[in-house]
Amino acid sequence: MQCVASSDGTFSYPVEWIFSNAPKEQLEDSLRNHDLPLNQVVTPYTCLLVKAGKQKVLIDTGADGLAPATGDLLKQLQAEGITPEEITPWS
């Protein structure tokens, strides 16, 4: 079995969506200490392709169209030599 992780890009969420229960002052201090922006959290969209024998199963289909920084999955799979037609359909 082989696993291939492929990026579909990133998306920025408002900080308060991710850290809704954190005290604001503590959160801002922590973000500053790690040189991170105070108003957004950039998250990756990583998809996993599992190759098992002749089967190729895509665990996540990405976030194409969610934002300008998403939609790279097909390009990343093609760079790995994988076409959409090779993905085993769900049955």
At 75-89, the pLDDT tens digits run 999 999 999 999 998
Count of domains for the chain? 1
In a domain, 80, yes or no: yes
**Dihedral sign, CA of 72, 3, 59, 36?**
negative
pLDDT number for residue 65 = 87
Question: Has residue 91 got a pLDDT over 90?
Answer: no
pLDDT tens digit string along 5-64?
Answer: 999 999 999 999 999 999 999 999 999 999 999 999 999 999 999 999 999 999 988 899
In a domain, 47, yes or no: yes
Host domain of residue 14 = 2-86
Q: Where are the beta strands (DSSP E) in 1-91?
A: 2-14, 40-52, 55-58
In a domain, 91, yes or no: no
pLDDT number for residue 34 = 96
Instruction: Record the pTM.
Output: 0.72
pLDDT number for residue 90 = 81
